[in-house]
Chains A and B, each alone.
Chain A
Amino acid sequence: MDFYQVGLFFTLICVAISFVALLRERDDIHKILVVDLIETVGLVLICLVATDLAEALILPGLVVGISELLMLTELYIRKEKLPLPTYKPIRIEVMRTAPPIITFVLIVYGIILSGFSGGAVAGIGLVFYFLCKGYEERFALLETVSGYAWALWIVAFFIFMIIPEAWLIAVMLSGSAILLKVSTKMALIGTMREGRNV
């Protein structure tokens, strides 16, 4: 019995436990959390394969999981007619002074890293800035940038497949495009708290 089968056995036990939790849960909002737990355990099934291909499959799996979670929570808010919270956001000194320098460092480091990890680092910087400083942003602009970056990413994939000799330009293109894409998408997380769409 190799490690894969042992891991599979234990993962299936985890799946069974989370399904029991879902069966016993009656509250709608808690159901969302338990379903997210089930999805995460499902991703472990992919992780167990432990090859490069499996690593590449984790990301779309995660994205689908997150988008379904977002969809379900939006639906819940709409269903229960929940209002936006009206309390005053917390204000502490660090949140006024720290964001510019930390965001600058993170974005520069993200650009150096490039690719997915760079996008995540730069995105965290932007999330921090938006959360602390508030914003007046045109969302349409962020979405447009993100859309073009995605198209460039796909173009880079086609260059890989059709003219493999031009791999360097394809790497550069996909690295910078995915940096833009991931950071703009993550920046949207920071805009959930306050501010307005101009």
Chain B
Amino acid sequence: MFNLPIEGEELFVLEFGDIVNYFSLYTTTLFLFATAFIIIAIIARPERQTDIIFGTDAVYTKEVSPDNLRFQRFMAIACGLATLGAVCSGDLFNFCLFTALIGITNIGIVAGVNNRYVLNAAYNYGIVAMVATTFLFGGAATALGSCGTLSIWELAGLGMVPLAAKMFLVLGVMGEGMAPFYIAKAEITRAPGAPYVLMIHVSSLLIFLRVIEIILTV
């Protein structure tokens, strides 16, 4: 596809004017991966954290309230859907929008947890994600300004997009995909409602893989 080594075979093409949504072997792999994790988020039960009081026999389990559970599950599924959009969109700006949406839903997944450290980490990530949207939109706008189109289908293989725009895109995705770093920092993996946190890692991984494909293609 596009005579480039990264894409693999062309599987499906859907044209909306000059914006062409396409599935190559590469994006289909990412798409299936994200779908699998959405299904996991739908069927998984939340993990209940067990605390042992040191020096005694007491063991207690933290309950996850149904409201909180519903909210986190919704946000995890929304994050998965945004990831699906980001990996299969054929338009630079749509990719940026979906990536920004991933940033918002990432915070939604952990915002329900009433833990000071978790909220602090989420807040700091939120600031990074907001700054990153500037780079994302800046990258897409610079590409539009210098090429006249945003369609990856039309730009593919031409090498017209300036290096600055590509750098902006990568910087933006780095900011939005920074979430696992903050998760490790605040140990959110062990916070109540853990399985939904997986979706943050998955989305981060997939948008990195997708942006690499985009900058090698355009």
Residue A106 CB within 8 A of the other chain: no
Q: How far is the CA of A32 from the CA of B124 in the complex (A)?
A: 10
Q: Is the CB of A71 within 8 A of B127?
A: no
Count, A-B residue pairs, CB within 8 A: 96
Q: Which of A43, A64, A79 contacts B100 (CB 8 A)?
A: A64
Of B2-10, B24-32, B138-146, B153-161, which binds chain A?
Answer: B138-146
Q: Are A71 and B137 in contact (CB under 8 A)?
A: no
Interface residues on B, range: 20 to 34
Let me know if A13 is at the binding interface, CB within 8 A. Answer: no
Instruction: Please report whether the interface of chain A is mostly helix, strand, loop or mixed according to DSSP.
Output: helix
* B104 contacts A67, C-beta separation under 8 Å: yes
The answer on a CB contact under 8 Å between B141 and A57 is yes
Task: Say whether B119 contacts A72, CB under 8 Å.
Answer: no
In the bound complex, do residue A57 and residue B93 qualify as a contact, i.e. CB atoms below 8 Å apart? yes
Knowing A39-B133, A64-B133, the reply to whether A54 touches B144 (Cβ < 8 A) is yes
Q: Does A46 contact B (CB under 8 A)?
A: yes
| A94 is an interface residue with CB less than 8 A from chain B | no
Contact B141 A75 (CB under 8 A): no
Cα A155 to Cα B135 in complex, Å, equals 32
Cβ of B46 under 8 Å from chain A? no
* Cβ-defined partner of A49 (8 Å) among B17, B122, B141: B141
Interface size on A (CB < 8 Å)? 37
In the bound complex, residues from chain B placing their C-beta under 8 Å from that of A57 are 93, 137, 140-141, 144
Contact A68 B137 (CB under 8 A): no
Distance in angstroms from B152 CB to nearest chain A CB is 15
Residues of A within 8 A of B120 (CB): 79
Interface residues of B (CB under 8 A from A): 16-17, 93, 97, 100-101, 103-104, 107-108, 111, 116, 119-120, 122-123, 126-127, 129-131, 133-135, 137-138, 140-142, 144-145, 150
> Could you give 8 example pairs across A and B, Cβ below 8 Å?
A8-B142, A28-B123, A42-B133, A45-B141, A54-B141, A65-B130, A68-B130, A79-B116
